[in-house]
């Protein structure tokens, strides 16, 4: 079985913070998932830094904790603004978006999503779970 966590972490060199990143931590409780993880790693390495609408993959490492289960850490670009669905709701609360402005915001989000999906499909990769809560936004709105 696989269990996911996604904490935020700081990438440091000595005492200096170089960057903030997200860590997708996958707890592995059996050996059956190794090909699934290898596939995910290969996809992340293939798409990283190839399209501005896709997150950057920074690296991977693993550990074995005291509960006798392995953990794999996928270190990725932090999408500071979180899911697009939450961002749109926050904007709606803070401003009185008229219908036209809301449609423009959604159109911009959809355009970025479709560009990313086009890149994935051209690369032979199919995303099987596209939805607003999985569309994460970086600090520069990509």
Which is nearest to 42 in space by CA: 118, 122, 123? 123
Q: What is the pLDDT of residues 13-63, one digit of tens each?
A: 566 666 778 888 887 776 666 777 888 888 888 888 888 888 888 888 888
Q: Give the residue carrying structure tokens 């970025």.
A: 112
pLDDT number for residue 118:
93
pLDDT number for residue 67:
65
Catalytic residue among 31, 63, 65, 129: 129
Residues 60 and 87 in one domain: no
Residues 66 and 88 in one domain: no
Last residue in a domain, options 23, 55, 78? 78
- What are the counts of helices (DSSP H) followed by strands (DSSP E) for the chain? 3, 7
pLDDT number for residue 121:
92
Buried b (16+ CB within 10 A) or exposed e, 96-122: eeeeeeeeebeeebeebbeebbebbee
Q: How many CB atoms lie within 10 A of CB 72?
A: 19
Residues 30 and 73 in one domain: yes
Structural domain of 58:
1-78
**Banded pLDDT at 1 (limits 50, 70, 90):** very low
Number of separate domains in the chain: 2
Last residue in a domain, options 78, 111, 131? 78
Does residue 53 contact residue 116 with C-beta atoms inside 8 Å?
A: yes
137 pLDDT exceeds 60? yes
- For residue 132, give every residue at least 6 positions away whose Cβ sits within 8 Å of its Cβ, in sequence order, or none: 83, 84, 85
Residues 48 and 89 in one domain: no
Q: Which of 38-47, 62-71, 95-104 has the highest average model confidence (pLDDT)?
A: 38-47
Residues 64 and 89 in one domain: no
Residues 84 and 125 in one domain: yes
pTM greater than the 0.85 cutoff:
no
Q: Provide the CATH number for the domain around residue 4.
A: 3.30.200.20
Strands (E), 7-95: 8-13, 16-28, 57-64, 70-77, 82-83
Residues 67 and 5 in one domain: yes
Q: How far apart are CA 70 and CA 30, in angstroms?
A: 9
Q: Clarify whether 129 is annotated catalytic.
A: yes
CA dihedral 70, 74, 79, 84 (to 10 degrees): -70
- Which of 8-17, 99-108, 128-137 has the lowest average pLDDT? 8-17
Residues 22 and 85 in one domain: no
**Banded pLDDT at 114 (limits 50, 70, 90):** very high
Residues 97 and 118 in one domain: yes
């Amino acid at each position: 079985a696989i269990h996911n966590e996604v904490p935020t972490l700081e990438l440091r060199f000595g005492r200096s913070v170089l960057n903030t990143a997200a860590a997708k931590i996958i707890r592995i409780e059996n050996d059956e998932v190794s090909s699934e993880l290898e596939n995910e790693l290969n996809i992340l390495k293939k798409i990283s830094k190839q399209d501005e609408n896709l997150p950057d993959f920074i690296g991977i490492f693993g550990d074995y904790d005291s509960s006798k289960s392995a953990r794999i850490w996928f270190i990725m670009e932090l999408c500071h603004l979180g899911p697009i669905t939450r961002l749109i709701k926050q904007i709606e609360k803070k401003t009185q978006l008229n219908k036209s402005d809301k449609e423009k915001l959604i159109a911009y989000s959809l355009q970025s999503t479709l560009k990313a999906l086009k890149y994935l499909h051209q690369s032979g990769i199919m995303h099987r779970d596209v939805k607003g809560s999985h569309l994460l936004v970086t600090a520069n709105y990509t």
